[in-house]
Structures are given as structure tokens and as C-alpha cells.
Amino acid sequence: MIENSILRINKTGKKANVFELTFPSTQLVELAIHVGFDAIHLDGEHGTFSETDVDNICRIANGFGKSVTARVPDNSPYQINLYLDRGIQGIIGPHINSKDDAQKLVDACLFPGSGKRSWGGGRGTEFNDDAKIKETYQGKLNFSTWSNQNMLVIAQIESKDASENIDGILSVKGLSGITGGPNDFAASLGFPGEPDNKIRIEHTKKAEEKARKTGKVVYDDICNKLSIMDLMLKNARNFIIK
């Protein structure tokens, strides 16, 4: 495994530049790294990724020393573990609405004794290679600690319930921080189709302020994210218009 490239950049006082994919493409991963992106992010909730796709993308990115993070399709420990075992080093859990939801997310992402992550046999555990783990990390316990330190665990705050329960969510030890979901958040507040509604913006702002005060990160404070959809629907459209 590699040091989390997002956290490595953050330690220098800078945001990491992250390229987001909604569909599998190892070619785009290589091109993104070629032009200077620091990490790759996969939208597994709304994207189209099999575990084999995640494995191949992690293989390419890690080969260049870049981490891969993902928003998972759902927050079940089974699903999260499939992603982590491929080598994912950051999980965004969608629809985290309570302290209990946040605790379950942390438990699924972190090894004991910070969580309840299951030990697998993939890239995420150095393929369960005892010789490698002993040589590099001086044993599985040290590897687990190192892995936890290089894991981002982000709760997506995108509902009225989450906003009302934000103090409990932020109290969960091991949770790295939060991110938003403006469309679903606006809808839950009674403003469907209005992600820029002032009330939604205010709720998000308050959640982010509380996160910073409690020592949690706000995703937008640590990452600049550009998605393939942004490139095609915005940049490419501007090119066509011109």
C-alpha cells in the first residue's frame, strides 16, 4: 500500500487535486495523473463500477503513487469492504443521517481497535502477505494502525435529519469529516430542484462550521475536485459554443 496522497498533500498546507470518474477508464486515470492530479475519486453511488473495475483503477493509480477514494453505492460493511480490499484509501458514505450511521461507517472503514473492518486478502492488506507485512510494517497490528492513519472516512450530509443530528455525527471518533449533497439536501428541506436555495446553503454552512470547530475536515477544504462530467458538460460545451 502507499501513503495516502491526499493527506500527504494536505500536510504541506495545500489542497489535493482530485479527478473524479463516474465510469471505469484506466486510460483517463493515467491521463489525469500525467497532467498532475494527486488522486482519483470514484463515484460508486451513481457511477458504474464493478469490483474488478475498482481493482484495476487502484492498480494503475497506486503504481504512480496516487491514492484512490470512492463514494460507495451503499454503506453496508460488505460493500465498503469490497472497495477497501481493492486498495481504496478514502470512503465517502452517502446519506449519513445519524450518529449511529456515522459510527457504522467508521467501523466498516477502520481496522480494530479503531473500528471493525474485516481483514481481507487483496491489495488493501498487502494481499495478506505475511512476509511483506512483517518486513515493511513489523506486523499486522502496525499495518492496521498505519492503514487507519491513511484512511479518509467522510460522512455525506445531505438531509434535514443529518443537519439536525450533526452534533452527534461529528462526535464519532475516527470520522475524518463531512461533505455535502446539495440536491438531495434541498429536496429533504422541501425545495426539490433547488440546490442553490438559501436555506439549504445556510444548513450546509452551519454543518461545515461545526465540523471545523470540532477538528473534523470539510472535504472542500482539503480537495479540489474535477469530474469527467464537469469536463464534458461544461468545458466541452464551452469549446463547442466557441
The closest alpha carbon to 10, from 150, 114, 210, belongs to: 150
- Report pTM: 0.94
- What interhelical angle do 51-63 and 26-35 show, nearest 10? 30
Q: What is the pLDDT along the chain (242 residues), one digit of tens a residue?
A: 999 999 999 999 999 999 999 999 999 999 999 999 999 999 999 999 999 999 999 999 999 999 999 999 999 999 999 999 999 999 999 999 999 999 999 999 999 999 999 999 999 999 999 999 999 999 999 999 999 999 999 999 999 999 999 999 999 999 999 999 999 999 999 999 999 999 999 999 999 999 999 999 999 999 999 999 999 888 888 888 76
Q: Which domains does the chain have, with CATH numbers?
A: 5-241 (3.20.20.60)
Q: CA 42, CA 64: separation in Å to the nearest integer? A: 17
Pairing state between β 152-157 and 177-180: parallel
Q: What is the pLDDT of residues 9-55, one digit of tens each?
A: 999 999 999 999 999 999 999 999 999 999 999 999 999 999 999 99
Distances (CA, A) of 231 to 37, 74, 226: 14, 26, 8
Q: CA 122, CA 160: separation in Å to the nearest integer? A: 38
